[in-house]
Amino acid sequence: MIVTPTMYLFKKHLQPHLVSISRYMHNHAFSNFFCCQDNFLVNPDKVVDLAGTLEFIPSEVHPGKRTENLFQINDTCREFATYFAKRIADDVFPGMYNMLIDIRFHMNDVYDDEMCNKGWIHNDPASVAGVLYLNKDTRDFDTGTSMFDKVSLGGFKNPDVKSRNDFNLNKIVSDQYKKDLEDNHSHFYETLRSGNKYNRLIAYDSSIWHRPNNYKMSNGENRLSIIFFIEKYEFQKHNSMLKVQPTWRDV
């Protein structure tokens, strides 16, 4: 298997909430996929230490701060990112190769207004995505990630971009921001919830609606994770090892 992690600046991720819903209803080998694997890394402490050496940068296009793509920072980060990408391809998405992948550390900010610690429900302009939770010794059910079905009819109103950018970049909480966030949540029904647990990896079809549930950790730490996006990939289906030949046709 050839795995080619590629340096990639995820420009299309800048304003995902402004894009129509149907655009990301794609069909690929890992459509409708969700998985969760605990104890993903053998030595997660070493990765937390690596995160501690890096610069986290705020952006107007997402809440919290992120590092640059790990493939682009230094040799150590590139070595880890290459290992991480191979683990994902081999263990999480069997049959995946030649992925275009972006991997970053992410640290969330905490806000005095409790409502503002809740994330936006969104989907991502990628094929698949995932999160590795990295707060040591943590089991925090409310600060993980949930999946949702959209239950309202029709599309979204475009939320106010300025209030959202001000929130993301300068932590400015406006009535407009809270109104748009509340409206966002009103369109969805929660169908699956993963708690935040140290060294747990979740991975999913990024067209499934999802959100970080809450940025405020019960232990007072900043919520630390690795996030990854795979925009596209190639796939080779493995032959089944089972000799049975079912006559049932699932049609």
Is position 231 an interface residue for Fe ion (rule: CB under 5 A)? no
Three-state DSSP state, 9: coil
Instruction: For Fe ion, give the closer residue by CB, 96 or 131.
Output: 131
To Fe ion, the closest distance from the beta carbon of 243 in angstroms equals 40
What is the Cα gyration radius of the chain? 18
Q: Which stretch binds Fe ion (CB under 5 A): 45-53, 121-129, 148-156, 194-202?
A: 121-129
Q: Which stretch binds Fe ion (CB under 5 A): 70-78, 116-124, 142-150, 152-160?
A: 116-124
Distances (CA, A) of 246 to 241, 242, 243: 14, 11, 10
Instruction: For Fe ion, give the closer residue by CB, 5 or 16.
Output: 16
Choose among 229, 12, 212, 227: nearest CA to 109. Answer: 212
Q: Which stretch binds Fe ion (CB under 5 A): 46-54, 124-132, 136-144, 163-171?
A: 124-132
Half-sphere exposure of 16 (CA within 13 A, CB side): 17
Q: Which residue is nearest to Fe ion (CB)?
A: 124
Which of 68, 102, 124, 180 is in the footprint of Fe ion by CB under 5 A?
124
Instruction: For Fe ion, give the closer residue by CB, 76 or 191.
Output: 191
* The pair of three-digit structure tokens given for residue 42, joined into one six-digit string: 């053998």
Nearest 5 degrees, angle CA 81-CA 84-CA 85? 85
Q: Name 37's bridge partners.
A: 201
To Fe ion, the closest distance from the beta carbon of 75 in angstroms equals 29
Which residues form the interface with Fe ion (CB under 5 A)?
124
